[in-house]
Each structure stands twice: as C-alpha cells, then as structure tokens.
Amino acid sequence: MNYTNETLQRDLANGNLCQSYLLFSPDILHLNRIAKAFAKNFNVADVFWLTAKEGAKSITVDQTLLFNEKVFYSAVGDKKLLIVSDLSDMMVQAQNKMLKSLEDTRDDLIFLLLASNPEKVINTIKSRCIILYQPDLAGGSLSEQELLDLNKNSPKIFDAAKALYKCKTLDEALPHIAILGAKDNFTVSMLALTKHAAVLDLREPRTYAIMQVLSEINRNTDANCNSTNALDLLVMQLFANI
C-alpha cells in the first residue's frame, strides 16, 4: 500500500489538509514522485520547491530565507504548496530558519517536507508536522527483519506501538510510551507506528497527539532535559478526554 500517498489524497479529498506534512523514506526519489503527484492538485503558480543547488551538498541558509519569502505571496488558487525536496540535506541553521515559516499558521499555506534520514531533521520541525513514513519503497518494501536489525529493542518497540493504539487509560499507555519515546528507539518507533497504522486514522486528533508526544519526548531528551515531568503532562493530556 502506498500509505503516504493515500493519506495525502484522503486528506485532500476530505478537505482536511494539515498545514505541515513531513514524509520520511530512504527512497527520496519515490517521495519526490509522491510530491509531484500531490502538487498537480494545486495551481502551478502556487507550488514552490526548495532543493540543494546543483553540485552542492546542502540547502543553505540563504536559499531557505529566499524560500521563506514565498510564505507571504498571495495564492492564485485556494492554497500555496511549499515543498522541500530533502530536508536531510538542509543545514541545521537552515532548518531553524525553516522553522520560522512552519510556525506561521496561515490558512492558505501547506508545507510538504521530504526527508530520507529522520535523524538529520531537527526535533522542533518534527514536532510541528504530521509525520508520515513510507515503508513501501519502489522495488519492494522494508521487511520486518530489516527494521529489527536497526535496533536491538525492535521487538519490544513493535509490540509497544501496536499496544498503544488500543490503550484506553493513562496507566495502560505509560509503559508503551516510555518505550516508544526513548531517544535510541525513536526512529524505529515511528516506523513501528506506521506499520500498525491500519487500526487508526492519522486525521484523528488523538493519533496526531501520539505523534506529538513522541516528538516532544525526543526533543526534551536531545536537549538533555528531564523529560519525565513533560512526559507525564503530555500523556495526561493525551488521555484527558477518554
């Protein structure tokens, strides 16, 4: 299943597009094909791409600042679409500049950020996006064994991801979120959450909250903060209305 493309098309058809999507796959060319197909739903004058210059290894700060100016352009159609072809190739300083645009909440703005390596994307960007992993790559899909090889805790991570979706109480959820939110587990956690996504809808507020919880935990850990209190508060909020 082309999970990422189906999610984008579903949100578009239902009029439920989020402002910022972050797409991960080792096959960046496949993500670019998804982005080009999605862009056909917008007026061509409203679609803007940011890519590294030919021969350059990174998207620079100067390029990003120029790209950010597109946020303030008037849309010809209903919405503007801003696409970054590989956020993994963007310098950290440039990602921080991109963050400023992501914080703009204009209704006529959609960001589609592509990345081949999730570990090269800063956590503050992750926390502001709907994160979609595309496990079905051109020429095959990531096998479960390949995912297991990424992390010795993978079996526990996959079990925790599956169990989290079924939790109805805070007490049930805490052990699973502790596993999924651990710094060393985060990348595989997101892959595991995608694998078990058949039981949920990414447009559901609670699903988005789960993604935000994981990103927040990861960001706090990277900043050497004590994430325990933040985790407790976030999980309590997540289950407050259940």
pLDDT of residue 221: 54
Distance CA 193, CA 199 (A): 10
* Alpha-carbon gap, residue 119 to 241, rounded angstroms: 32
Give the number of other Cβ atoms within 10 Å of residue 127's Cβ: 20
Provide the 3-class DSSP secondary structure of residue 131.
strand
Dihedral over Cα of 70, 122, 237, 135: its sign = positive
Burial of 180: CB neighbours in 10 Å, binned 0-12, 13-18, 19+:
buried
**pLDDT confidence of residue 242:** 53
Which DSSP helix (H) or strand (E) runs through 49? strand 47-50
The whole-number pLDDT of residue 45 equals: 93
pLDDT at site 16 = 77
Going residue by residue through the chain (242 aa), what tens digit of pLDDT does each one get?
A: 455 677 787 778 878 788 888 888 877 888 888 899 999 999 999 999 999 888 788 899 999 999 999 888 888 988 899 999 889 889 899 999 999 888 876 788 899 999 888 778 888 888 788 877 665 433 344 455 665 676 788 888 888 888 887 887 878 888 888 888 777 777 677 777 766 654 555 556 666 666 666 656 655 555 555 555 555 655 666 666 55
Nearest to 190 by CA among 114, 131, 120: 131
Domains and CATH numbers, the chain: 1-141 (3.40.50.300), 142-242 (no CATH)
CA distance 4 to 232: 30
Mutual angle of helices 3-14 and 28-39, in 10-degree steps: 20
Give the pLDDT score at 95.
93
Q: Do 126 and 23 form a contact (C-beta atoms < 8 A)?
A: no
